[in-house]
Amino acid sequence: MSSELSRENIRRGLGTSFIGQHILYYPSIDSTNLRAIQEARAGAPEGTLVIAEAQTAGRGRLGRRWYAPAGSSLLFSLILYPPLKPQEAAQLTMLTGLAVAEAIESLTGLAVSLKWPNDILIRGRKVGGILTEASSTSEKLDYVVVGIGLNVNFRASELPEMATPATTLFDELGCEVSRLQLLQAILARLEARYLRLRSGERFQAEWAGKLETIGQYVEVAGADGIQRGWARGVSEDGALIVEREDGQIAQLSAGEVRTAALPPAGEPQNRAHNS
């Protein structure tokens, strides 16, 4: 059986009821997220999968780029209409990160961790990223597009140099992985978690357990400059909860996090929180 990422192959043996049942496949496209947003606005069915072998304008957050050599990554987006409030959109990033991590772990045996807010890591190196783009009215989400880029069957040395070092499944395993099987495993896990989300479950506690940064002294570079403190957890809307040296609790909704050198006083002991 061919392991090509064709629509027929993806649908064959895919044990989902709606995620990935409607497929738009492109040998090359600007960005699967952009395409999915257009499709969502036009009312595409829930679970529509937009997948490409190559992107000419793959997107990251804040106008950044996603790079991928043609034909050897997984580059796809899903259209969802979750019955959630706008501030709950981060739940989709969380459940997607958990589903991707589980799928990679079960197929390859590699240990996967996540990095706030949207990175997928192996041994501290970035193997994938998630870009969640939502549109909402004041009360509820109209649609959410979840885009996933995963480095699969190529070498990270083929990528331009990045701030966070990159890796690929090929680099980690020394052999190729079936992109078709990996995609199907991700879609099945994603649907199972999405149905749990629709039934009222929330994923921030499990997600926090998979995040590299929790418990560490970190610095977060955001729109308001750099904030430092101990990463204590995450809120339901995906904000990183950071305890500053003065004991104040800050909830950071966006930014780049990295481990920082400890302040001279060390970690606060049994300090009362002022939140």
Site residues for ligand BT5 per CB under 6 A: 31-33, 55, 58-61, 64-68, 75-77, 118-119, 126, 129-131, 147-149, 151, 159, 162-163, 166
Task: Tell me the chain's radius of gyration from C-alpha atoms.
Answer: 19
Distances (CA, A) of 103 to 127, 176, 186, 216, 219: 13, 16, 5, 27, 30
What is the identity of the amino acid at 65? R
Please state the closest distance from residue 40 (CB atom) to ligand BT5, in A: 13
Please state the closest distance from residue 142 (CB atom) to ligand BT5, in A: 19
Q: How far apart are CA 148 and CA 258, in angstroms?
A: 22
Please state the closest distance from residue 70 (CB atom) to ligand BT5, in A: 12
- Look up residue 170 and give its two tokens: 């090929």
Edge-to-edge order in the sheet of strand 23-26: 23-26, 49-52, 73-80, 141-151, 125-136, 119-122, 113-115
35 versus 243: smaller Cβ distance to ligand BT5: 35
Rounded to 5°, the CA angle 75-121-145 comes to: 35
Please state the closest distance from residue 253 (CB atom) to ligand BT5, in A: 14
Ramachandran category for residue 269: left, alpha or beta (phi over 0 → left; psi -120 to 50 → alpha): beta
159 versus 260: smaller Cβ distance to ligand BT5: 159
Please state the closest distance from residue 163 (CB atom) to ligand BT5, in A: 5
Selection from 74, 69, 87 nearest residue 20 by Cα: 74
Please state the closest distance from residue 200 (CB atom) to ligand BT5, in A: 28
Please state the closest distance from residue 146 (CB atom) to ligand BT5, in A: 9
64 versus 196: smaller Cβ distance to ligand BT5: 64
82 versus 149: smaller Cβ distance to ligand BT5: 149
Cβ proximity of 67 and 58 under 8 Å: yes
Please state the closest distance from residue 219 (CB atom) to ligand BT5, in A: 17
31 versus 91: smaller Cβ distance to ligand BT5: 31
189 versus 243: smaller Cβ distance to ligand BT5: 189
Task: DSSP letter for 81, please.
Answer: -
Cβ proximity of 112 and 157 under 8 Å: no
Selection from 56, 53, 59 nearest residue 72 by Cα: 53
Q: What is the dihedral of CA 64, 52, 130, 256, to 10 degrees?
A: -20
18 versus 67: smaller Cβ distance to ligand BT5: 67
Q: Which residue is nearest to ligand BT5 (CB)?
A: 129
131 versus 214: smaller Cβ distance to ligand BT5: 131
